[in-house]
Structure formats: structure tokens, C-alpha cells
Amino acid sequence: MNLSTAQANNQKRIVLRAEDVWKSYDDGAITVLQGVEFEIAEGETVAICGSSGCGKSTLLHLFGGLDAPDRGRVSVNGIEVNRHRNLLRLLRVEVGFVFQLHNLIPDLTLAENCLIPTVATGLDHRTAHARLMQLAERTGLTHRLDQRIQKLSGGERQRTALCRALMNKPKILLADEPTGSLDEHSSGMVFDLLLDLVATEGVTLVMATHDRGLAMRCDRLLEMHDGRIHEPVSA
């Protein structure tokens, strides 16, 4: 992170904060997070790199409220993420998820898959449809809206997942290896789109990735090893 970015971030609102976060699995046999501490400011794009199993996905799950830390505090927009309280608001309004595997429902069409989050929030049909058209146009999926998921290519599926994640205009997008299942060409294309969308929508992006090339294109790059976050001098 260069000096000007750091200064700018100092003035920006902190939207994600991890304070001494610990997390282990198998009754403590595997400890993946060991006192993780970091902050992410509004509108930042942050890549978390690290080897498989180092805890990148776990960290994203904690921020999304899908899992709870054993110890420490995880907060989104100043509100502590608790698996019971605030969780629905978090998942519906604050946070959007994109996974390595697109996780779309195969029997539904592209449009229907994208509209699922609006069913959760009870958004009216007209507004939801307008938002869908807007995102479909941005991601180049307008002509595929009525296609079933099985008929879409890998890139199209991941773009659909991206649309779905952004349907309710979340403030934060958590992307877990969003291009991990794509070939190099599709990967680059989807990532360009991802950066473009988060920039225009003003979304904070936190992305777990193995791909250092993609990671370097984010505002910040965080390294994870030994269960802790290490921020390189510059990204």
C-alpha cells in the first residue's frame, strides 16, 4: 500500500474490522486463525493471499456471518457480527458473496438465480427486475437471462453469481477465489468485470485468491500465513 492510499484510507470510514480473531476446527486440533487483526476502509479493494488451508475462506465466512470466531471480534460497519443477531441484515443488505464454485441453483434460469436475494428482502418485482436488467447489461448477460444454468459457460455462471451477489446493492463484496474455477482468459475477463462493478457501485471488495497477478491489481494485498495477516510494504 503506498503512502497516499494509506493517508486516504485514514480518512475513510472503516467498514470491516477484525480484532484478535481466533478460529480452530476439530475441537481445537487445527487452528487456522491466530489473533488476526486488520481493518478495511470503505471502497477499498483488498486481496488476501495465502496457501490452501491458511484461513482465507474462514476469514471471509466470519465477515459474512456464516461462521463465528472462537475468540475476538469481527465487525461490519461498526456492528459486531453475531451469528444470531444482525445476521439477516448482514446477509441481505451489507454483504454479497461470490464463491469459487458459482453455487447457482441449476433448475432455475439465470434471471431467477439472480433474483433470489430480492425474494429474501421482499423487494418489489419491478425494482428487482430493473436492477437485474442493469446488472445483466453491465455483465453482458442480457441475452442469456432465460437460459438455465446448465447451458451457461463457466465464465457466464461466475458472472451470474456476481450479479446475484450485487442484486441487493451490498456495501461489501466477499469473493472467495472468484476466478479459481475459470481458465486464464475467462478469469481475466471476470476479474476485470468484478473490479469495474465494485468501482462503479462503490462496493468494498475483499477477495481471497491464490492468483498473485490478480491480487496485485487490488488496492491492498494481505498475506496470510501461520494464522495471521501480514501486510507487505507495498502492493
Partner 1 sequence: MIFLKLIVTNLRRHRIRSFISVVGITFSVAAMLTVVTILQGAIGMFSGILSSDSEIIVFERNVSDLFFSNVPAAAVEEISSWPMVSHADPVLFGIVSSADHPIITCFGVTASDARIRKATWIAGDRFAFAQHADDVVLGERAAEFLSAKLGDHVPIGHGVFHVIGILKTANGFEDGGVFMPLGAAQIFFHKEGTSSVITIKLGNKDDAASFKALVKTKFANLIALEDAEFTRSYSQFRILKATAWAVGGCGLLMGGLGVANTMIMSVFTRIREIAILRVCGFSNTQIAAMIFGESAVVSLLGAMLGLVTGTCLLFALKLVPALHGYVDVTIQPLVMLIVIVLALLTGIAGALYPAIYAIRIRAVEALRFE
Which residues lie near partner 1 (CB under 8 A)?
A: 61, 64, 66-67, 88, 91-92, 97, 99, 103-105, 107-108, 112, 115-117, 119-121, 125, 164, 168
Q: How far is the CB of 108 from partner 1 (least distance, A)?
A: 7
**Whole-angstrom distance, CA of residue 166 vs CA of residue 201:** 9
Give the three cell numbers for residue 7.
493517508
Nearer to partner 1 (CB atom), residue 57 or residue 75: 57
Max CA separation in the chain (angstroms): 50
Q: How far is the CB of 195 from partner 1 (least distance, A)?
A: 22
- Between CA 181 and CA 166, with CA 53 as vertex, the angle to 5 degrees is 50
How many residues appear in the chain? 235
Q: How far is the CB of 40 from partner 1 (least distance, A)?
A: 20
Contact 12, 42 (CB under 8 A): yes
Which residues pair with residue 16 across a beta bridge? 40, 76
Nearer to partner 1 (CB atom), residue 99 or residue 191: 99
**Whole-angstrom distance, CA of residue 46 vs CA of residue 213:** 13
Q: How far is the CB of 6 from partner 1 (least distance, A)?
A: 32
Nearer to partner 1 (CB atom), residue 5 or residue 181: 181
Nearer to partner 1 (CB atom), residue 16 or residue 174: 174
